[in-house]
Amino acid sequence: MKRRDHLLSGPATLVVLGTALVVCTLVSFLFGRYPVPFRELCGILGDRFLSLFGGGIDQFWTDAMYAAVWNVRLPRVLMSVLVGACLSAAGAAYQGVFQNPMAAPDVLGASAGAGFGAALAIFFGLSSAKITIAAFGMSLLTVSLVFWVSRRAKGEKTLGLVLAGIMISSLFEAGTSFIKLAADPNNKLPEITYWLMGSLSGAKWSEIQFVFWPMLLGLVPLFALRWRLNVLSMGDDEARSMGVDAGRLRVGVIVAATLVTASSVSVSGMIGWVGLVIPHMVLRICGSDYRWLMPGSMLGGAVFLLIVDNVSRNVTSAGIPIGILTAFVGAPFFLWLITGRRHEE
């Protein structure tokens, strides 16, 4: 990423985005078809928190309010935050590693593999938990295959990795299309199509428990290595002169970014544009220093997906697949970014 003038300092950006995340999280609990007043919301959340220490609050809310907050909205809000942070962090990492502003979380085939695994599981009528496991496992298998092919490719390794990702992705996308062709058009096909559009409507505590640790295992290295990503952006020769093994660092960042991508796609379906647009937006705010760009991208992705998910579940009673909304928002915004940069230059 190229350095450019930015609007805020790094710490100020994190404060603004962190405040926005807290506000959006609280507002997300208030939106929904079943109203929960702010006083009752604070009481429910406070009661659950105090129960960890053996305390509690005398109940002044209804059981329906409690169920709406704790069993429906809280898992969905947490999933939105986790998926948004993961996809955006992966996008920032890929753009830094490949030195390509168009790099996105699905560049190594993680999304295509997850889509194929989920479609296959739905085709055979497996449960939602097994669909998530199949999507996650196939995503990791796809990326492993991409790495295996790229290591045997001739020429520049980074280019070979990208080309291998494009090729393997196309194969798994073709497999998904074949499954859709063979699926029952009355039952299986609509379910596969809806999953591929991306949605957080079925978020459950069990899914959060399943993906939380893989997400954490990927996000922690990306956060810890953000200092070295600045060195990597100077080029391999400069990195070596500073004692940084560029090749090993690049592989480590790619593996961590792919792990969080696979975890996210396995529970949310195909949600595009988050990992492409949000890092660019944060870059324009705080600059290209990864010390601030990486955590800023995590916060920005969480805020963005929370807002989009609120629109998704409140515009219509059935809910709009979140992948459609991110495309509607992401594509015009990215065009604005491109034209704005050219105008500045």
What pLDDT is recorded for position 245?
Answer: 80
What pLDDT is recorded for position 292?
Answer: 94
pTM of the prediction? 0.88
CA 116 to chain centre: 18
φ, ψ dihedrals at 40, nearest 5°:
-65, -35
Residues 6+ apart with CB under 8 A from 12: 286
The two tokens of residue 309 are 């998910």
pLDDT of 308 over the 90 cut: yes
- Interval 98-107: pLDDT, tens: 877 777 887 7
Cβ atoms 271, 323 nearer than 8 A: yes
pLDDT of 223 over the 90 cut: yes
Domains and CATH numbers, the chain: 10-344 (1.10.3470.10)
**Which CA distances in Å does 49 have to 154, 183, 251, 307?**
56, 46, 40, 25
Q: 341 pLDDT band (50/70/90 cuts)?
A: low
Rounded distance between C-alpha atoms, residue 85 and residue 96, angstroms:
17
- Range 204-222 average pLDDT: 92
Where does the chain have alpha helices with state H?
Answer: 10-30, 38-51, 63-67, 74-98, 110-123, 128-151, 157-182, 188-197, 205-224, 226-232, 236-241, 246-268, 274-286, 290-315, 322-344
pLDDT of 343 over the 70 cut: no
Q: 186 pLDDT band (50/70/90 cuts)?
A: confident
What is the dihedral sign for C-alpha 226, 220, 292, 269? positive
What pLDDT is recorded for position 340?
Answer: 62
The two tokens of residue 82 are 């986790």
Residues 6+ apart with CB under 8 A from 313: 31, 32, 76, 201, 319
